Amino acid sequence: MAQLTFREAIARGIAQEMRRDESVVFLGEDIGAAGGVFKGTVGLLEEFGGVRVRDTPISEQAILGAAMGAAMTGLKPIAEIMFADFFAVCWDIVVNEIAKSRYMTNGQMTFPLVIRSGNGGGLRFGAQHSQSVENWAMMVPGLKVVVPSTPEDVIGLMAASIRDPDPVIFLEAKALYSTKTEVPDGEIVDSLGTAKVLRSGSNATLVALGAMVPKAMKAAEELAGQGIDCTVVDVRSLVPLDTQTLLREISATGRLFTIEENPRLCGWGGELSSIVSEEIFYDLDGPIVRITTPHIPLPAADALEDMAIPSVERIVSTVNKSMNS
């Protein structure tokens, strides 16, 4: 066991897989000598050298195009898009090229690649460096979407994503980069499409993702003090989605609260609500409630950003109000 930060876990996860598989290569802006703008890739250039860890120009289309071309010809690239907002300048490569090409070619091509990116707010960077884009990625057929919430999950899900034969969008909550927890030594390999029940309660189920997971846990603690006993589920993987675990845990309490950092419209909680309504409607004891960032660009000022992104207080008060109405 060692204490590890979320950002150190990224480098450890990548290194674990690069040691194991020679065909894993890594490219992106400032990832090599600089160790990443969030210091998430420190030490990789030193260990694996400049042929496998390559700094690129500021050319997001070239980065992802290169990853795609390399993946279709036998490599397993990891590409970094520094801030998830920047997906907008290379979204064609993600959505039209990487996501569609296996289907269009009738399975002639396979794209074992991972695109990792710093996602979401909390760092007061303003609207163009703070958006949570998990809902952009989730709506695209052909992409897997993974969002870890702990250092241990970063390593295990990174390994699972790299070993997966399909394209994976791996979103790292920037707000979590400095969190530190105990992580077991040795190889850690998790599996995609598995949600995790972090806490079991009997009154309500809070379903959260990424940076919202620790907030949901804190809120659950406070709610317990107010007599509301909550289950907390960390979704971890939007595609594939572990609906079995989610539906089971939602049925068990009869109440669903989604806690989402993405702006409200077409957030992942909307899809989950629809699945729940169609499949376990009669198990519900009250309305589904979505707690999300409002449908606005994120403001920069700390006071304003804190109002926008779901907070522990907002979760507690929303759940409390809904449970007592």
Partner 1 sequence: MTTTTPAVSPLDLDDKLALYRMQLALRLFEQRAYDMFLENLVKGTSHLSLGQEAIAAGVAAAMKPTDWTFATYRGHAHTLARGVPMTPVLAELLGRSNGLMAGKGGSMHLTSVEHGVMGSYAIIGAHLPIACGAAWSAQFRGTDQVAVCFFGDGSTNIGAFHEALNFAAIWKLPVVFVCENNLWMEYTRTTEVTAVENPAADRASAYGLESIMVDGNDADAVYEVAAAAIARARAGEGPSMIEAKTYRHGGHSRADPGKYRPDSEVAEWLAKDPIPRYHTRLLELGASEDQLVEIERDVVREVDLATEQAKAGGVPGEDLLMKDVWADGGSSWRN
Q: How many CB atoms lie within 10 A of CB 126?
A: 15
Shortest separation between residue 222's beta carbon and partner 1, angstroms:
32
Shortest separation between residue 161's beta carbon and partner 1, angstroms:
13
Shortest separation between residue 138's beta carbon and partner 1, angstroms:
9
With binding defined as CB under 8 A, does residue 85 bind partner 1? no
Phi-psi region at 72: left, alpha or beta (left = phi > 0; alpha = psi -120 to 50) = alpha
Show contacts with partner 1 in window 265-294 (CB under 8 A). 275
Nearer to partner 1, 65 or 254 (CB): 65
Tokens describing residue 284: 């519900």
Euclidean distance between CA atoms 316 and 238, whole angstroms: 24
Shortest separation between residue 244's beta carbon and partner 1, angstroms:
5
Task: Compute how many residues bind partner 1; rule: CB under 8 A.
Answer: 48
Contact 179, 124 (CB under 8 A): no
Catalytic residue among 52, 129, 144, 255: 129
What binding mask, one character per residue, do residues 149-188 give for partner 1 by CB under 8 A, x or -?
----------------xx----------------------
Tell me the CA distances in angstroms from 221 to 33, 37, 113, 260, 312, one per residue in order: 42, 34, 38, 19, 10
Would you list the DSSP string of 1-64? -EEEEHHHHHHHHHHHHHHH-TTEEEEETT-STT--TTS-STTHHHHH-TTTEEE--S-HHHHH
DSSP conformation class of 299: P
> Residue 325, SS3?
coil
What element of type H or E holds 168? strand 168-173
What binding mask, one character per residue, do residues 43-82 give for partner 1 by CB under 8 A, x or -?
--------x--x-xx-x-xx-xxxxxxxxxxxx-x-----
Instruction: Give the pairing type, strands 196-199 and 237-239.
Output: unpaired
295 catalytically annotated: no
What binding mask, one character per residue, do residues 86-125 give for partner 1 by CB under 8 A, x or -?
------xx--xx---xxxxxxxxxx-x-------------
Contact 41, 14 (CB under 8 A): yes
What binding mask, one character per residue, do residues 181-220 give for partner 1 by CB under 8 A, x or -?
------------x---------------------------
Nearer to partner 1, 145 or 198 (CB): 145
Shortest separation between residue 227's beta carbon and partner 1, angstroms:
34
Active-site residues, by number, are 129
- Applying CB under 8 A, the residues found at the interface with partner 1 are 25, 51, 54, 56-57, 59, 61-62, 64-75, 77, 92-93, 96-97, 101-110, 112, 141-142, 165-166, 193, 239-244, 275
